[in-house]
Structure 1
Amino acid sequence: MIKSVGRLYGLGIGPGDPELITVKALRLLQSASVVAYPIADQNKQGLARSIVLEYIKPKQIEIPLYFPFKLECSAQPYYDKAAKTLAEYLQLGQDVVVLCEGDPFFYGTFMYIYNRLADRFPTEVVPGVSSTIASAAVLGVPLTYRNDVYVVIPAILPAEILKAKLAVADAAVIIKLGRHFEKVVGVLKELGLYERAKYVEKATMPEQRIVAIDRVNPSEVPYFSIIVIPSQWQP
């Protein structure tokens, strides 16, 4: 008997290491009829799929969801199209999992799918290991102690906003570095945080790279890079 409608799942699959997927996310991934995942290039499989490729079964239907992720292009029509595509499968009673790097509700693409479909279909979000937490782990630096205030800041913000946010934090992680690296470094130096800053690219992925921040080439900083400013508290 076909179910009236399928269930939609947003699966956090972690920052890159396939072993960092949770037991629950793995179970749901392998039991769903449909596996959907974001791609930024129509000629490539996408990072999310590559993380869990070994877990996907041949009989499962795979749906790449194209999102251009370009400043000059609004992503909203692409989210609308993705939601419409997934709704067709859900209406047929098929369960759909959407793969999300890191955590679905932490700067995750799935949030936009959720906003369009959660009021129409039963939906569950499975949290995942964020790259911010994974970065601290691979760098070997505890992020926070006791009552520290911790912030996560996108590097894309203007320098004055970066400065204001960092000035009130005991510990911080700066994400989405890319072409904003030099701006961020300037702010860190102005606030006296540069010596504390730690840099990592593609944490837990096969291409992971940890470099002393003063040896980073600004022209080669990828989008998936992070600066960690750990707590100063001493036990």
Structure 2
Amino acid sequence: MSPATKPGTVYGVGLGPGDPDLLSVRADRLVRDAKHIAFFRKAGRPGQARTLAHGLLPENATEHPMEYPVTTEIPLSDPRYNEMLSSFYTDCTKRLRTLTDAGEDVVVLCEGDPFFYGSFMHLYTRLRDDVPTHVVPAITGMSGAWTATGAPITWGDDILTVLMGTLDKETLTARMQDADALVVMKIGRNIDKVRQALKAAGKYEAAWLVEYATMPNQTVQKLSEAEGKVTPYFSIIVVHGQGRRP
């Protein structure tokens, strides 16, 4: 970057749970005005964030897909998993810095909220000390999911616990037992383990399964009525709190 060039800014823009009507005004403006759009995706796929933003992007925007080197092909416990992803995020950071060093702003599309289990966090921590980086918060996918059930997630002094389906069964069970209200994310191929943990914790019959929350293909049903069903990765399980109320 030449001394006369003002550095560009990286914007991590939360797209919300899926319904474009639920974007913030700021997110909508940034996406529609973007000259450079970056987004994560699995190789050979359009990418969930890019799909959510379809119809919002300017025709002349330059797209910068960032393709994961690995998703579920290697167990999370394998040291190679973190090594490959760390190298991937470092490379993505370099790509974005090439643009910002040239004075270009970049909008990074993020599913849900950028600071809630999102991939953008790994770019943010690598960029924030050297590049102007701003985050646009959004409605989370879990908020869209519990709203879809038509019942409040917490009452009074209820403690809400958020768990990842990727955790081991013992940890899931213990945390579920301690929870008043519960959200389980990243279900997908972990569904059988999550079911077993919910049953062991005594919360199975109270659990709801929400798939593609707020999207046109949204489905909402009691988990006990979805036996044998293969759930998509973008599904969330909700157990409502039953705490104090007037």
What aligned pairs does 1:16-165 form with structure 2 within 5 A after superposition? 16-41=18-43, 43-67=44-68, 68-72=70-74, 73=81, 74-165=84-175
Whole-Å Cα distance in 2 between the matches of residues 122 and 7 of structure 1? 5
CA contact (8 A) 2:187 2:233 kept: yes
CA contact (8 A) 1:33 1:95 kept: yes
1:72-130 Cα distance to aligned partner (Å, 9 max, x none): 24322211111111111101101111000001010001001111111111111111111
Query: Shift of residue 3 of structure 1?
Result: 4.5
1:126-176 Cα distance to aligned partner (Å, 9 max, x none): 111111111001111211112211010001111111122112211010011
Whole-Å Cα distance in 1 between the matches of residues 62 and 222 of structure 2? 43
Secondary structure, counterpart of 1:90 in structure 2: helix
Query: Shift of residue 182 of structure 1?
Result: 1.6
Whole-Å Cα distance in 2 between the matches of residues 3 and 139 of structure 1? 51
Query: Shift of residue 33 of structure 1?
Result: 2.0
Q: Which residue of 2 aligns with 1:187?
A: 197
Whole-Å Cα distance in 2 between the matches of residues 117 and 218 of structure 1? 44
CA contact (8 A) 2:11 2:134 kept: yes
CA contact (8 A) 1:69 1:75 kept: no
Q: Which residue of 1 aligns with 2:77?
A: none
Secondary structure, counterpart of 1:54 in structure 2: coil
Which one is further off, 11-20 or 208-217? Answer: 208-217
Query: Shift of residue 8 of structure 1?
Result: 0.8
TM-score when normalising by structure 2: 0.89
Secondary structure, counterpart of 2:58 in structure 1: coil
Query: Shift of residue 217 of structure 1?
Result: 4.3
Query: Shift of residue 200 of structure 1?
Result: 1.0
Report the RMSD for the aligned CA atoms in angstroms.
1.6
- Report percent identity of matched pairs: 38
Amino acid at match of 1:21: L
1:19-78 Cα distance to aligned partner (Å, 9 max, x none): 11110111122233211011112x332111111111100121111111132352432221
CA contact (8 A) 1:7 1:123 kept: yes
Secondary structure, counterpart of 1:124 in structure 2: strand
TM-score when normalising by structure 1: 0.93
Figure out how many residues of one structure are paired with residues of the other and give that number.
233
Amino acid at match of 2:125: N
